[in-house]
Amino acid sequence: MAELPSDLRNLESRLEGCSVLRRVVCFSEIESTSEHLKALARAGEEEGMVVIADHQTAGHGRHGRSWYSPPGVNLYLSVLLRPSIEPSKAPLLSLFAAVCVAESVRAVCGIRAGIKWPNDILLRGKKCSGILVDMEGGSRGVDWVVVGIGLNVNGRDWPEEIRPTATSLAEQSGRRFDRGVVGSTLIGRMDSEYVKALGDGFASVREKWLAYDMLSGERIRLTERGTVTEGVVIGYDDLGAIILGDEDGSRRKVFSGEAERVARV
């Protein structure tokens, strides 16, 4: 097994101010931080565990896609939460994670990111971070949530298929970043926002998320499990579902999918 790069060592010591996210396990190589943490969650691991890897061999994203996870350059991390919220509010965790990433990006490199519903983080129109939320629960509540975040920090050499759409903090700012600093900033932000969100039932998360929204008023094409719909984004409901309007004045809510702006003619 390869040695852990120096910038990912001793991350736990940077998290002393955190109240929930205090335990970090770092791998030099793993299939997927989220799959590993989901297995721990099912085995009863306590809330607050963070799994980070230098390299993922089977990193994956939303809609069954893979997540480009080469060693030495980017951050791949997953966080285990056990929030006492109604399962209906679980989509707000996805917005919560997106806000934390956008705020951390601003803090470390000074660039304001945008969020493309529900949780793609874009810098100047290109994606620098993606978030995958997995959860298990039942009628009585949420049992566990694993928030998996891929954040392109110093990556620059993209495979051809994502070259037109991917970017990194380094590419956009012209600087290199210490992944330990970026990772601990992000984990610290998630910790403090999570404590606040538990206090107000995640109500403030939606308000914060709206400040980064890139799609309100835009005509979009939404793909969900092979079905494509189009409409104008009127807004978002209390749980973060997108509200699409049609030319005939009708409105409909969509809870998940992949949104793309449709160019105005």
Question: Which parts of this chain interact with ligand BTN (CB under 6 A)?
Answer: 32-34, 56, 59-62, 65, 67, 76-78, 120, 130-132, 148-150
Smallest distance, Å, CB 65 to ligand BTN?
A: 6
**C-beta separation of 94 from 133 below 8 A:** yes
Please choose, from the candidates 63, 110, 67, the residue with its C-alpha nearest in 3D space to the C-alpha of residue 260.
63
Q: Which is nearer to ligand BTN, 148 or 231 (CB)?
A: 148
Smallest distance, Å, CB 254 to ligand BTN?
A: 17
Q: Which is nearer to ligand BTN, 77 or 115 (CB)?
A: 77
Smallest distance, Å, CB 199 to ligand BTN?
A: 27
The residue to which tokens 């969020």 are assigned: 115
The residue to which tokens 């012209």 are assigned: 174
Q: Which is nearer to ligand BTN, 138 or 226 (CB)?
A: 226
Smallest distance, Å, CB 248 to ligand BTN?
A: 33
Smallest distance, Å, CB 29 to ligand BTN?
A: 13
Q: Which is nearer to ligand BTN, 134 or 204 (CB)?
A: 134
Q: How far apart are CA 214 and CA 133, in angstroms?
A: 21
The residue number whose beta carbon is nearest to ligand BTN equals 130
Structure tokens at 178: 């210490």
Taking 3-state DSSP, the helix, strand and coil percentages for the chain, each rounded to the nearest 5, stand at 30, 30, 40
Smallest distance, Å, CB 124 to ligand BTN?
A: 17
Q: Which is nearer to ligand BTN, 131 or 244 (CB)?
A: 131
DSSP letter (8 states) at residue 42: H
Q: Which is nearer to ligand BTN, 130 or 188 (CB)?
A: 130
Q: How far apart are CA 91 and CA 237, in angstroms?
A: 11
Residues 6+ apart with CB under 8 A from 14: 180, 184, 188
**C-beta separation of 243 from 233 below 8 A:** yes
